[in-house]
Amino acid sequence: MLEKEFYVIAFESTHHAIQTENRLKEQFSIETIPTPREISASCGLSIKFSLAAFSEIMKALEEDQEKMDIYKIKKRGKDKFVKKIV
């Protein structure tokens, strides 16, 4: 069974989502996605990134972490597990 893991950053405002996207896309491989329905956030946009980029992205966003929620998502077949980590 195929298993996939990644991280998602959810935001309270679209402005902050776009601002963060612009900062991160210069240095990292990220994807802007609709916020997964398992995550409740005021903003409909989220940023998805890989496990490999986690520590570097956390360093880059260190000062802004109170403005966002970070989730680890694990997909296994049709199942999806979501865990808030920050």
pLDDT for 25 equals 94
Q: Could you give the domains of the chain?
A: 3-84 (3.30.70)
Instruction: Name the band, by pLDDT with cuts 50, 70 and 90, for residue 41.
Output: low
Cα within 13 Å of Cα(80), Cβ side: 10
SS3 62: helix
Tens digit of each residue's pLDDT (9 = 90 or more) over 3-23: 799 999 999 888 999 999 999
Q: What average pLDDT does the structure give for the chain?
A: 90
Radius of gyration (C-alpha) of the chain in whole angstroms: 12
pLDDT for 5 equals 93
For the entire predicted model, the pTM comes to 0.87
pLDDT for 45 equals 92
